[in-house]
Homo-oligomer: A and B are copies of this chain.
Amino acid sequence: MVGMARPRFHRLDETQQQAILDAALTEFAARGFADASLNRIIESAGISKGSMYYYFDGKEDLYAHVIRDRLEAVIERDGPFPVPEERDPEGFWTVLAGYYLRLMRALMGDPQTAALLRGWLAGAGTPSLGAAAREAEQRMLPWLMQTLSTGQRIGAVRTDLAPELILGAVMGLGQAIDVWLISNPPADAVLEDAVSTVMDLIRRVVAP
């Protein structure tokens, strides 16, 4: 499986694992995948190049691993985010709005992880982001598809367009909104208003 550190990485001393992941997170968050330097990560982590390639298949493999690691950390700390089981549209959207608000707060409190995940999502459409990092993106797909399915079943989401198009549109919209929110960070007092605006935009796109 791509995007998976070699099993021997998990047998490595915890402190050293952390040193590698921290160095990688810092570099990838600051510069994005393409402009990040594996050599700088290696130096910062205090290991040798041979070691790095002993534990990871390469730069892309390390990147995908760090993304998974951070996603799992966010879910563990701020989750869970089960697929909504509500039966009425208002309930459905309320749950999703709550998830979004929670995620926004979490990422506002963890700017490095936020930057990493942003860079990853933004780069998803470019060739320089390799298969491994795209595979990481694919991992979110089942959750998204299930949520979409639920929304369609209860009348909250349109059924006249291909699911892939609906999801893509929401993701594209979400990223654009994200970019704007970075430039115009809402005060905590109006975070919920911002979330309402976001949910409204998404609902408009997906409403039956």
Per-position binary interface string of chain A over residues 163-187, scored 1 when its CB falls under 8 Å from any chain B CB and 0 otherwise:
0110011111111110110011000
Per-position binary interface string of chain A over residues 70-93, scored 1 when its CB falls under 8 Å from any chain B CB and 0 otherwise:
000000000000000000000000
Determine which residue in A168, A172, A184, A207 has the highest number of CB atoms from chain B within 10 A of its CB, and name it: A172
Question: Contact: A162 with B180, CB < 8 Å?
Answer: yes
Going nearest first, the 5 A-B pairs with the smallest beta carbon separation are A172-B176, A122-B125, A34-B128, A34-B34, A168-B176
Q: CA A126 – CA B171 in complex, angstroms?
A: 16
Given A125-B122, A128-B32, residue A180 in contact with residue B204 (CB < 8 A): no
Asked if A197 is an interface residue, CB under 8 A from chain B, the answer is yes
Residue of B nearest to A197 (CB): B161
Q: CA A201 – CA B169 in complex, angstroms?
A: 9
Asked if A105 is an interface residue, CB under 8 A from chain B, the answer is no
Question: Contact: B172 with A177, CB < 8 Å?
Answer: yes
Question: Contact: A34 with B204, CB < 8 Å?
Answer: no
Asked if A109 is an interface residue, CB under 8 A from chain B, the answer is no
Task: List B contacts of A191 (CB < 8 A).
Answer: none
Q: CA A124 – CA B64 in complex, angstroms?
A: 21
Task: List B contacts of A197 (CB < 8 A).
Answer: 161
Question: Which secondary structure dominates chain A's binding surface?
Answer: helix
Task: List B contacts of A126 (CB < 8 A).
Answer: 32, 34, 119, 122-123, 126
Asked if A127 is an interface residue, CB under 8 A from chain B, the answer is yes
A125 to B: closest C-beta gap in Å: 4
Given A172-B173, A197-B161, A201-B169, residue A179 in contact with residue B31 (CB < 8 A): no
Q: CA A118 – CA B125 in complex, angstroms?
A: 9
Q: CA A205 – CA B207 in complex, angstroms?
A: 11
Question: Contact: B176 with A127, CB < 8 Å?
Answer: no
Asked if A13 is an interface residue, CB under 8 A from chain B, the answer is no
A172 to B: closest C-beta gap in Å: 3
Question: Contact: B179 with A125, CB < 8 Å?
Answer: yes
Task: List B contacts of A204 (CB < 8 A).
Answer: 204-205, 207
From 12 to 51 in chain A, residues with beta carbon under 8 angstroms from any chain B beta carbon are: 31-32, 34-35
